[in-house]
Amino acid sequence: MSVAPGRSQASSHRSPQGVGCLMSSGAPQAVVPPGATAPALAAASLHPPIRRRRARWGPVDLVLLLGVAGFVAYLAWQTHAVFAYRWDWRSIWPFVMRYDEASGRWVTNLLVEGLLTTLRLAIWGILLGGIIGTLMALCRTSRRLFLRMVGFSYVMLIRNIPPVVFVFVFVYFIASQIMPRLTIGDAVAQWSPNTQFWISILFGTPRLIDNFVLGLICLSVFSGAYVTEIVRAGIESVPRSQIEAGKSLGLSRTDITRFVVLPQAFRNVLPPMAGQFIQLIKDSSLVSLVSIQELTFMAQDVQVSTQRVFEVFVFTGAVYFVICFSLSRLFAALERRHARAHA
């Protein structure tokens, strides 16, 4: 069955150039921009836009919510009636803030000081762990077999040892041999008061700088193994064509890595790195096992002083939750904004 030549030419001429052309099908239809070619039309018909359905409350959701609320109420009743436990939240607040009679003002106490140490450990830990992870990721993607073995051994060693075991082994068998030779605390004690003030802001109390550096190195080496895999995945996500384009411009392998691969890789790994930072805030509690005075360690001291186990650790858990949940929402909003800016 033949079609009139004039009609065929008209239809073939209109399809690629149609403004706002809609591909006919029963599925959601894609809008094709003006000047789209025939392959673009075919791709639009095969991959229509996906519309996200808004979540709504249903009967099952309400039943599950009532079940969770009932379980929480049952636990509260068990605590109050069966265990006969009397909550005393007022005993915690003096360890959050206290009034200093000598200076005549309110100052931070143990729990806030521990929280600040936790945040310092997480911030410096993700920076130092990022440097270690980037170097090990370059080793893992290197052409040299020895460097690949170094990166692979580091990742496998850290990731396949329980964190608590790693902390004890690292602190008591490795760091204990290195830290006395560094004499960081003695060097800081000889610096000017102005310098010590900034040291206290960035790293905490100068007289405890050795403990802080010990915990920082431990957390950085531990988190660096996970950062290595994140950065390695980012490097491998860079299209091969980008590397070939760099070679065609006469760039050396080092320049391709610096100016082509790593910038794109870092842009791709920002979301998982944000998640690793949140994870590091929680992992900082591991160094409390070796007397690093972060939030969990301070909470244990407060619990011993007040004998209020539930209040202290419920409060500590709530602090961790508020910080980590707030950061996760913040990073999610920044990720959506970044996606819209590059859409």
Q: What is the pLDDT of residue 13?
A: 42
Q: What percent of the chain has pLDDT over 70?
A: 84
**297-339 residue pLDDT tens:** 999 999 999 888 889 999 999 999 999 999 999 998 888 887 7
pLDDT(36) > 80 = no
Q: What is the pLDDT of residue 70?
A: 94
Q: What is the pLDDT of residue 25?
A: 44
Query: DSSP secondary-structure letter at 170?
Result: I
52 pLDDT tier (thresholds 50, 70, 90):
low
Q: What is the pLDDT of residue 171?
A: 83
Q: What is the pLDDT of residue 37?
A: 52
89 pLDDT tier (thresholds 50, 70, 90):
confident
pLDDT(296) > 80 = yes
Joined together, the tokens standing for residue 250 give 């006469």
The closest alpha carbon to 118, from 212, 259, 15, belongs to: 212
**2-16 residue pLDDT tens:** 444 444 444 444 444
Helices (H), the chain: 5-17, 38-46, 59-77, 110-140, 145-159, 163-169, 176-182, 184-189, 193-203, 209-236, 240-248, 253-256, 262-283, 295-306, 309-341
**251-280 residue pLDDT tens:** 888 888 888 888 888 888 888 998 999 999
Q: Are 222 and 240 a contacting pair, CB within 8 Å? A: no
Distances (CA, A) of 100 to 15, 111, 117, 143, 239: 79, 16, 21, 61, 60
64 pLDDT tier (thresholds 50, 70, 90):
very high
> Greater confidence, 96 or 12?
96
For the chain, what is the mean pLDDT?
A: 82
What is the phi/psi pair of residue 23, to 5°?
A: -75, 130
Q: Are 321 and 295 a contacting pair, CB within 8 Å? A: no
Domain range 109-341, CATH class:
mainly alpha
Q: What is the pLDDT of residue 45?
A: 52
Q: What is the pLDDT of residue 4?
A: 46
Q: What percent of the chain has pLDDT over 90?
A: 36
Burial state string for 201-239 with b = 16 or more CB within 10 A and e = fewer than 16: eebbebeebbbbbbbbbbbbbbbbbbbbbbbbebbeebe
pLDDT(126) > 70 = yes
Q: What is the pLDDT of residue 34?
A: 52
pLDDT(142) > 60 = yes
- Specify the amino acid at residue 228: T
**176-215 residue pLDDT tens:** 778 777 778 888 888 888 988 898 889 988 888 888 998 9
Within 10 angstroms of residue 104's Cβ, the number of other Cβ atoms is 7
Q: Are 141 and 300 a contacting pair, CB within 8 Å? A: no
Joined together, the tokens standing for residue 170 give 């690292």
pLDDT(158) > 60 = yes
Q: What is the pLDDT of residue 11?
A: 42
Instruction: State the burial class of residue 95 (Cβ atoms within 10 Å of its Cβ: 0-12, 13-18, 19+).
Output: buried
Q: What is the pLDDT of residue 120?
A: 94
**220-248 residue pLDDT tens:** 999 999 999 999 999 998 898 988 898 88
Within 10 angstroms of residue 66's Cβ, the number of other Cβ atoms is 10
